[in-house]
Structure 1
Amino acid sequence: MVPPLALDIDGTLTTPSGRVDPRVFELLPDWEAPVVFATGKAFPYPVALAHFLGRPETVVAENGGVAYVDGETLVLGDPDAPRAVVEAFKARGGEVGWGVGDTVNRWRETEVALSLDADEALLREVAAAAGDVEVVDTGYAYHVKSTDVSKGTALERVAAALGVAPAEFVAIGDSENDASTFAVAGESYAVANADATAREAADGVLDGAYMDGTARVLAELRERGE
C-alpha cells in the first residue's frame, strides 16, 4: 500500500514559473491513501486543488492557521496579533506590496502575507516587539503568523481526525515552513530547489527540483507499495 502524503504546493507541485505541474493531475487523483495539501496559501487555494483533482478536500492552509478534514474547518491561528503587527508596520512606513486588489490576503483568515518587496528588516523588528508573532519567509512571501501554529501541528490534528498516525505520512516540501511538517512525518523530502532550512530538516534532499523531484518520490513510493 502507498503511504499517506503531506504535500506542499508552491515549489513542490509546481513548475519553476509557478504553474501547477500537469503531472499532479496524473499522479494524485488515484493515490490510494490520504493526501493532505499543506500550504502557506489562503484556505481556498488547496481546497480548490483537491476539488479539481477529485480528492477529499483535506488541507492545511496559512502555514497551519487553518485546516479542513472530514467536513470540519479547524481555525488554529489567532488573526488579531498578526494583523496588529502589520498595521504597526504600515504605520512606520512599511507596505504590504500587493497593490489595490490584494487577492493574496483577501481570503486569508489567520495571518497576513506580504510581498518579498516589503521591508523585511522593519517587519521583523515590529514582529519581534510583539512577542507572540513571527515572520516566515517561504520564498514567495513574508508570512506574519502566530508563533503557536505551524504546518506540523496542523498535520497532527488532521492525521488524528483521519485515524492515521503522523509518522505514517511522507512529506515533501521546499521551504522553511515545511520543516515542522518534516518533523512530524515519518519520512520527508526536500526538493532540489528547497531553502537551507527545509534541506536541513528533511530526511533526504532530492536531485530533482519542483515537480520533477516530487514525481520521482511518488513513483518510488508506488513501486515500494506494490
Structure 2
Amino acid sequence: MVPPLALDIDGTLTTASGRIDPRVLELLPEWDAPVVLATGKAFPYPVALAHFLGRAETVVAENGGVVHVGGETAVLGDPEAPRAVVEAFRERGGDPGWGAGDTVNRWRETEVALSLDADEALLREVAAAAGGDVEVVDTGYAYHVKSTGVSKGRGLERVAGALGRAPDEFVAIGDSENDVSTFAVAGESYAVANADDAARAAADVVVADSYMDATAGVLADLRERGE
C-alpha cells in the first residue's frame, strides 16, 4: 500500500518556470491514499488543483492559516496582525511589489504575501517591532507575513486527525522554509534538490533531482515499495 502524502506545490509539483508539471495530472489522481496539498498559496489555489485532479479537497493553505478537510474549512490564522504589519511597512515607504492588480493577496484570508522585490530588511524590522505574534517567512516565491501560531505542520496534524490518521503516516515533499514544520511531523520527508537550506537541513532525504523530476521519482519509489 502507498502512504498518504503531504505535498508542497511551488517548486515541488512545478517546473523550474513555475508551471504545474503535467505529470501531476498523471500521478496524483490515482494515488490510493490521501493527498494533502500543503502550500503557502491562498486557499482557492490548492482547492482548484485538487478539483482538477479529481481528488478530495484536502488542503493546508496560507502556510497553515487555512485548513480544509472533509468538506469543512477552519480559518486558523489571525489576519489583522499581518495586515497591520504590512500597513506599517507601507507607511515607512515599503512597497509590497505587486502593483495595483494584486491577485496574489486578493483571496488570501489569514496572511499577506509580498514580492521578493520588496525591502526584506525593512519588512522584518517592522514585523519585529509588532511583537512576537507575527513572523516573516521567505518561501523563495514571496515573503509571507503570518501569525506565528500557524504552520503547515500544525495544519497537517489537524488534517491527519480528521482523516483518522497519524501525522507520521504521511510522506512529505517540499522545497522551502515553510515545509520545515511539515517535515517535523511527517514520518518521512524529502527535500527536492532546488530546496532552500532550511528545508534541506530538515528533510530526511535530499533528492538529487529538482522540481517535479524529484517528486515523480519519490512517488515511483514509494509505489514500488508498497507493492
Q: TM-score when scaled to structure 1?
A: 1.00
Distance 1:77 1:159 in 2: 19
* Cα deviation digits, residues 113-169 of structure 1 (max 9, x gap): 000000000000000111110000000000000011000001100100000100000
Distance 2:197 2:24 in 1: 25
Cα displacement (A) at 1:51: 0.2
Q: 1:205 maps to what in 2?
A: 206
Distance 2:128 2:67 in 1: 26
Q: 2:17 maps to what in 1?
A: 17
Unaligned runs of 5+ in 1: none
Q: 1:169 maps to what in 2?
A: 170
Distance 1:91 1:176 in 2: 28
Q: Where do 1:183-194 residues align within 5 Å?
A: 183-194=184-195
User: Alignment partner of 1:216: what SS?
Assistant: helix
Distance 1:147 1:37 in 2: 21
Distance 1:32 1:203 in 2: 23
Q: 2:140 maps to what in 1?
A: 139
Q: 2:42 maps to what in 1?
A: 42
Q: 2:98 maps to what in 1?
A: 98
Distance 1:129 1:157 in 2: 31
* Cα deviation digits, residues 37-88 of structure 1 (max 9, x gap): 0000000000000000000000000000001000000111000000000000
Cα displacement (A) at 1:12: 0.1
Q: Give aligned-pair identity as a percent.
A: 85
Moved over 6 A (4+): none
Unaligned runs of 5+ in 2: none
Cα displacement (A) at 1:207: 0.4
Q: Where do 1:53-202 residues align within 5 Å?
A: 53-131=53-131, 132-202=133-203
* Cα deviation digits, residues 163-209 of structure 1 (max 9, x gap): 01000000000000000000000000000000000000000000010
Q: TM-score when scaled to structure 2?
A: 0.99
Distance 1:14 1:148 in 2: 28
Distance 2:156 2:83 in 1: 24
Distance 1:129 1:202 in 2: 32
The count of residues paired between Structure 1 and Structure 2 equals 226
